[in-house]
Amino acid sequence: MSQKPSIQFLGAAKTVTGSKTLVSAHGKNILVDCGLFQGPKAIRELNWMEFTDASMFDAVILTHAHIDHSGYLPKLVKEGFAGPIYCSQGTFDLCEIMLMDSAHLQEEDAKFANKTKHSKHYPALPLYTTADAEKALTLFKPLPKNQWLELFPNISVQLLRSGHILGSSFVQIAIQDDYKPITITFSGDIGNNRQNVIKGPVPILETDYLVMEGTYGDRVQAKTDPSDIIAECVNKVAKKGSVLVIPSFAVGRSQEILYLLRKLEAENKIPEIPVYLDSPMAVEATRIYMRHRDELKLDSDEKSFIEPLCSHCFETVKSADDSMLLCMQEGPMVVVSAAGMLTGGRVLHHLKARLPNPDNIVLFVGWQAEETKGRLLQQGLPKIRIHHQEVDVEAEIQTADSLSAHGDSEDILNWVRMIDKKPKTVFLNHGEESALNTLRYRFENELGLNTLIPNFEQKYFLE
Ligand SMILES: [Zn+2]
């Protein structure tokens, strides 16, 4: 081989967004994940940095459809990438709605900035457009799971279920070297076996290198039943005639929440109050989940999947006008709306309307990254800025920790422990630094694994 295979970390790297890792071998450059940076402005601004030559990438492989792993693709295509984008069928189906939605949000943000002249730049331009997203979608080539496929001479890939959201996969890349193959496994976001809707991660047998996420690397999730806190919140708002707002990722979390609400109602643990799903994308995602029954835990004899997700007074909200009307409607009710970390979307309007009332409740059901509005609310801020307006925070803020779609430190350690032939190096590529440091300590001390935490753009040669 002319040059040793290498791996370079072009995103995430001590943060939880913008996942992008470059694997180079046999003259080919393969990008594993192509995520958007999200959260605080300083991090989001990294999205505006351009690759000097995006056409240098020969292929992209996605672990899953979440925007922090896929949302940079339309920009990459805009910059000149024209190669294949490989992923599972479930990931492709979800990307069809998520990339279009992401592009739409970019366009809306630019439009809003121009209307209110809030941007430093005038006119403010979207990072990418719906046309860029459409073009990116034409490059997708879904792959079957559980089998090795040769993508380029001497470079093969295999996708295995990672149990995080529908379609999410561990990506294994095998590079045939002069003497022996080198295998690299990317965990992407690893799930856990406690989710109700989606099946858990499969074990892997061996890998030479492991690129591992560690979002929850320093935490053990409460193993309490998340239903308890949901029931408590619903019962409170039912009694007070107020509103429970559940900010939720449209994909994965929303389906899980709807399932639990339906179950609680069926068990008579909560009364029948209106439940609104105010996210066209979540509705669409639910339909896609239905098409991939093999990945779901729900019994195969279950007549329909939508039904177990629909509580008695369940309604979906389609138009933006209806969403605004819902913000003014009196409770009791539950509103499930995106974005899950309050980085944008309709949920912000709901919060603007509901946060000043102490009878209302906001229930977080997923990870809130540093400096996001979600994290600020969890930290007990008395006021928060939404759409350039100060909003008093009087509502009760609750968190259901045990509902995460990520594995916690125990899940991660247990999964790595099951690998028969231990990796020679583990790279922790995705997570806040403190979480990664804890995870590294545990990997080194409990599992005896050589563990590295790469910096942004750091490159390593593999052998
Ligand atoms: Zn994810």
User: Tens digit of pLDDT for each residue in 254-286?
Assistant: 999 998 998 899 899 999 999 999 998 898 998
Classified as helix, coil or strand, 336 is strand
Lowest mean pLDDT of 58-72, 106-120, 193-207, name the range. Answer: 106-120
CA of 37 to the centre of ligand 1 (A): 13
Please say whether the beta carbons of 163 and 200 come within 8 A.
yes
Residue 420: count other Cβ atoms within 10 Å of its Cβ.
9
Q: Structure tokens of 166?
A: 């529908």
- Name residues whose C-beta falls within 8 Å of residue 35's C-beta, 6 or more positions apart in sequence: 11, 12, 17, 18, 19, 20, 66, 67, 68, 69, 70, 71, 72
Cα(168)–Cα(170) distance, rounded to whole angstroms?
Answer: 7
Please give the distance, rounded to the nearest whole angstrom, from the Cα atom of residue 168 to the centre of ligand 1: 8
Least trusted range by pLDDT, from 271-285, 398-412, 432-446: 398-412
Angle, in degrees to the nearest 10, between helices 409-417 and 433-447: 40
Q: Report how far residue 7's alpha carbon sits from residue 462's, in angstroms, rounded to the nearest whole number.
A: 7
Measured CA to CA, the distance from residue 256 to residue 61 in angstroms comes to 27
Q: Is the peptide bond before 435 cis (omega within 30 degrees of 0)?
A: no
pLDDT 10s digits, 146-190:
999 999 999 999 999 999 999 999 999 999 977 778 999 999 999
Nearest CA among 209, 141, 119 for reference residue 172:
209
Cβ distance 369 to 66 under 8 Å? no
Query: What DSSP assignment string belongs to 435-454?
Result: HHHHHHHHHHHHH---EE-P
Average pLDDT over residues 353-357: 97
Interval between CA 189 and ligand 1 midpoint (Å): 5
- Chain centroid to CA 447: 28
Q: How far apart are CA 238 and CA 232, in angstroms?
A: 10
Q: How far is the CA of 356 from the centre of ligand 1 (A)?
A: 31
Mean pLDDT score of the chain? 90
| DSSP E strands, 70-144 | 85-88, 140-143
In angstroms, what is the span from residue 164 Cα to ligand 1's centroid? 7
Give the whole-angstrom CA distance, residue 435 versus residue 447: 17
Q: Which residue has the higher pLDDT, 319 or 160?
A: 160
Q: How sure is the predictor about 243, in pLDDT bands with cuts at 50, 70 and 90?
A: very high
- Is 46's pLDDT higher than 90? no
- For the residues 10-29, what does the mean pLDDT come to? 85
Q: Mean pLDDT, to the nearest integer, of 186-208?
A: 93
Ligand 1 midpoint to CA 86 (Å): 17
Please tell me the predicted confidence (pLDDT) of residue 302: 54
Q: How many helices (H) and strands (E) does the chain have?
A: 13, 22
Cα of 367 vs centre of ligand 1, distance in Å, is: 10
Whether the CA torsion 78, 91, 252, 164 is positive or negative: it is: negative
103 compared with 293, residue with greater pLDDT: 103
Domains present along the chain, CATH in parentheses: 6-219+405-461 (3.60.15.10), 226-403 (3.40.50.10890)
With 80 as the cut, is the pLDDT of residue 449 above it?
yes
pLDDT of residue 303: 55
3-state secondary structure (DSSP) of residue 417: helix
pLDDT at position 304 is 52
Does the pLDDT at position 13 exceed 70? no
Instruction: Find out whether 236 and 334 touch, Cβ atoms under 8 Å.
Output: no
Kindly list the protein residues that place their beta carbon closer than 5 angstroms to ligand 1, a single-atom ion: 66, 189
pLDDT at 162: 97
Q: Would you state the pLDDT for residue 33?
A: 96
pLDDT at position 270? 96
Assess whether pLDDT exceeds 70 at residue 85.
yes
Residue 462 has pLDDT above 80, yes or no: yes
Q: How far is the CA of 16 from the centre of ligand 1 (A)?
A: 10
Distance 147 CA to ligand 1 centre (A): 23
Confidence bin at 118 (pLDDT 50/70/90): low
Report, in angstroms and rounded to the nearest whole number, the Rg of the chain calculated over CA atoms: 22
Give mean pLDDT, residues 100-104.
92
The pLDDT, as a whole number, for residue 312 is 80
CB 125 within 8 A of CB 159: no
For residue 117, the model assigns a pLDDT of: 65
Peptide bond into 123 cis (omega under 30): yes
User: In sequence order, what are the residues at sequence separation of 6 or more whose Cβ sits closer than 8 angstroms to the Cβ of residue 462?
Assistant: 4, 5, 6, 7, 175, 182, 184, 208, 209
Closest CA to 105 of 288, 250, 246: 250
Please give the distance, rounded to the nearest whole angstrom, from the Cα atom of residue 321 to the centre of ligand 1: 30
